[in-house]
Structure 1
Amino acid sequence: MTKIFLSVGKGSGAQVKDILGAITGETGIGGNQVGRIDMQERNTFVHVDSTQADLVVQKMNGKRIKGAKIFAEKAKN
């Protein structure tokens, strides 16, 4: 699994189901390829299958969840 940073969190009204739905809807990957989702106030870390990480970053960059524009990248840690 690879950890992905998303620039949306609880503070924007997003919930885990919104994050999961956006990832599976935008990328076409199955929910079984998405692992732990750690939501914080201003951002979210999502663990995805390593073979799908680049696709998730590419497809999620610039998308909106609950009105918040997303910046996505592989987490640095």
Structure 2
Amino acid sequence: MNREYYYPGEVLMMEEKTTCSLCGQLTMDGLKIHGEMICPSCEGRITELRSEDEDYHDWLAHLRSLWSRWVRPS
């Protein structure tokens, strides 16, 4: 994680880059769920994904992997 801090007076501004949990690219924004980051590009692809798309099962596997980290056995 890359952080840059600026101290203009008493105001702290932080610019933070994190890695997308699906594609591994560095991003500064996106969808953060249970501590996992999904970059805007992956989020957009997921929202446009159709079951007949060639990469559908790859995306499904990525999402299942994330889901398994979030769900704890009871």
For the superposition of Structure 1 and Structure 2, which TM-score range results when normalised by the shorter chain?
A: under 0.3
Which is greater in Rg? 2
TM-score, with normalisation over the residues of structure 1? 0.26
TM-score, with normalisation over the residues of structure 2? 0.26
Q: Which has the higher contact order (CA 8 A, sep 6+)?
A: 1
Q: Which has the higher helix share?
A: 1
